[in-house]
A and B are shown apart, each in its own frame.
Chain A
Amino acid sequence: MALVKLISLEKIYQQGKIAVPALRGIDMEIESGEFTTIFGPSGSGKTTLLNMIGCLDKSTSGEIIFAGNSINQLSRNELADIRRYNLGFIFQSYNLIPVLTAFENVEFAIRLIDKHSKKDRRDKVMHILNEVGLGDMAYRKPNELSGGQKQRVAVARALIKEPKLVLADEPTANLDSETSEEVLQIMKKMNEELNTTFIFSTHDPQVMEYAKRLVEIKDGRITKDQRRD
């Protein structure tokens, strides 16, 4: 069974009196363990699509099936629960909480789930920070970290709760190419080690190279969908 299934998904933004169609009928299935990139020019609908899959926004028509259940009818709080327990997010502008250390930023995500003891939590956070190569920077605040390091903290934050799916909207857009590769490498490593499903958007050809599945989107429609090994 597909982890996520999108059926004739449409999203139309209403801008005053003008209707702006951002997605015009998307059909797609994402299997567990995939490492997928959604690429396309700016304004093609990548962010909108990721927001739909990430249960952050509702579609105008069509359906999203997440792990076998349709999410169309869920309330705002129920969607928040799905995100809390099943999804990880990585953002273009990192969105770390500036007053918390790297450790605390990562811990934040599992504090919400709250089933771990303090010691368990500590071990898990340190483990994941070591995995992304930041074990010795755990107690630095975001402003004491480079862009790449910040994004690696964000990766750790997304992965700490071992979500079914991690969504990353242009995660490398603020990074130089060398750092971009570092971050991608870590994401790929996590995908392979933990079998976490990743979907990330980009318009950078160099970044696309890492994906095992490439989905091209133009003007709100999928124009290409290919798998590689």
Chain B
Amino acid sequence: MKFLINIALKNMFRNKLRTFVSVLAIAFAVIVIVFARGLIDGMIESSYSMYIHYDTGHIKIMDQEYEQKQRLLSLAYTVDGIANKSLSEMENELLKLEGIEMVIPRVKFGAAVSTEEELVQMMAWGVDGQKELKFTNLERELVEGRMVSSGNREVVMGTELLRRIDKNVGERVTMVFNTAYSSFQGATFDIVGRIESNLPLLNKDLVFMPIDTARHLLYLEEESTELLLVTDDRDKAINYLPAVKNYLSANEGERYLAQEWREGSSFIQLLQVGERIYNFIYIFLLLLASIVVINTMVMIVNERTQEIGMMSALGLKKKDILKLFILEGGAMAVIGSFIGSIAGGTLTYFLSDIGINYGTAIEDMDILMTTIIYPNFKLEHLIFGFSLGIVITSLTAIIPAYRAANMDPTEALRDI
């Protein structure tokens, strides 16, 4: 076996250009695979965290009825405590469940600001400023001023939203909204901070205010439109979910709904299906590259007919000759896959820092996705591309190798 490997490796250098072209084809396919995986992973990772931060938490608790009416920003179906206990008692009990580290209340409602030209619609969130800073990445995106703090009539807005209402941090803004009793109200706020984000929702739609201020203005008691639970590990959230559901149904029957982050969003489910489909595309891509390798191997087998006959005469069996040619194809596969995964990895590594801006393409789509994608550099993707390259190319190399192994020795030896 060792000497077969030795010969196979040396044979690769018999026609350097041809070997080079084959290796290049594999390398190219592997580069695309490693990079595409990094890119898709980056996209998925960023949308996961967007959804978790700005929609679902790790587990989201809301009223059954609210689920259908989320888009309407209804204030009629809130979470206001459990059994006879208040919302803050409920929060404390939730914190005692396994894995739950933080409970984040949000009151979501619609609001508008009237400017000289138009009525600018927006989505207002009553939040606990400190918790939001801790849980989301707002800290980084709060480019001016500070986050809202409780007790004050103040707001934080996105850059684009401020531009539309023509205001700056430090100025005041008057907003109109519907209260829980459907009465029309207005209030004036200090603008204390500005967010600049490549997430369109944050940049142009959202206004944050302290949750107690929001409750007061909306005539809400101690209640929230939703509670987000943050666990110690988002991938374990699914394991913690049953205890949360038990707690809710034991005390309140069917009233409250608890959803893990993956259930909460059909877009995330779509992404997960996509992930699986891409794997087939990768295999297809490698099969294309393998055609070059097969072609090279067919030429090799034709050229070495006499040599195959000689080896057969010397007593090499079918399986030895098969091995010899698969090893040669396999060696090209290893080299090509190695170069490809390193180059693809390098490309991903650089772009994971700079990001790829595809700008306004998704700006108006109703999904939580940023306009800049940062490909995710992971060793795992390099290993994936490397292994897939080797496996697929070596498997296709079996076809020409089999032809060589099946040659009749007398035919092979015959002088042309």
Kindly name the residue among A51, A76, A92, A97 whose own CB sees the greatest number of chain B CB atoms within 10 A: A97
Q: How many A-B residue pairs lie within 8 Å, measured between CB atoms?
A: 64
Q: Is B184 engaged at the interface, CB distance under 8 Å to the other chain?
A: no
Q: Are B13 and A89 in contact (CB under 8 A)?
A: no
Q: Are A83 and B7 in contact (CB under 8 A)?
A: no
Q: Is B280 engaged at the interface, CB distance under 8 Å to the other chain?
A: no
The CA-CA distance from A83 to B11 in the complex, in Å, is: 24
B186: min CB distance to chain A, Å: 87
Kindly name the residue among B11, B307, B315, B318 whose own CB sees the greatest number of chain A CB atoms within 10 A: B315
B residues neighboring A (CB under 8 Å) = 3, 7, 10-11, 13-14, 306-307, 309-310, 312-318, 408-410, 413-415
Known interface pairs A51-B410, A56-B413, A93-B306; A109-B10 also in contact (CB < 8 Å): no
Give the size range of A's interface with the partner: 20 to 34
Q: Is A19 engaged at the interface, CB distance under 8 Å to the other chain?
A: no
Find chain A residues with CB under 8 A from B413 CB: 56, 91, 95
Q: Are B10 and A99 in contact (CB under 8 A)?
A: yes
Find chain B residues with CB under 8 A from A83 CB: 313-315
Chain A 107-144, CB within 8 Å of chain B: the 1/0 string? Answer: 11101100000000000000000000000000000000
The CA-CA distance from A196 to B201 in the complex, in Å, is: 90
CB-contact partner of B309 in A80, A87, A95, A157, under 8 A: A95
B403: min CB distance to chain A, Å: 16
Closest A-chain residue to B413, C-beta based?
Answer: A91
Q: Is A28 engaged at the interface, CB distance under 8 Å to the other chain?
A: no
New contact pairs (18) apart from A57-B408, A99-B13, A100-B10, CB-CB < 8 Å: A47-B414, A56-B312, A56-B313, A57-B409, A76-B317, A77-B317, A80-B312, A81-B315, A83-B314, A83-B315, A84-B314, A84-B315, A87-B313, A87-B315, A95-B309, A97-B7, A109-B314, A112-B316
Q: List 23 A-B contacts (CB under 8 A).
A: A51-B410, A54-B313, A56-B313, A56-B409, A56-B413, A57-B409, A77-B317, A77-B318, A80-B315, A80-B316, A83-B313, A84-B314, A84-B316, A87-B313, A89-B310, A89-B313, A89-B314, A92-B415, A93-B415, A99-B14, A100-B7, A108-B7, A157-B314
The CA-CA distance from A98 to B307 in the complex, in Å, is: 10
Q: Are A95 and B307 in contact (CB under 8 A)?
A: yes
Query: Which 5 pairs show the lowest CB-CB distances between chains A and B?
Result: A84-B315, A95-B310, A99-B10, A83-B315, A89-B313
The CA-CA distance from A81 to B309 in the complex, in Å, is: 15
B404: min CB distance to chain A, Å: 14
B322: min CB distance to chain A, Å: 13
The CA-CA distance from A81 to B314 in the complex, in Å, is: 9
Closest A-chain residue to B14, C-beta based?
Answer: A99
The CA-CA distance from A184 to B309 in the complex, in Å, is: 24
Q: Is A85 engaged at the interface, CB distance under 8 Å to the other chain?
A: yes
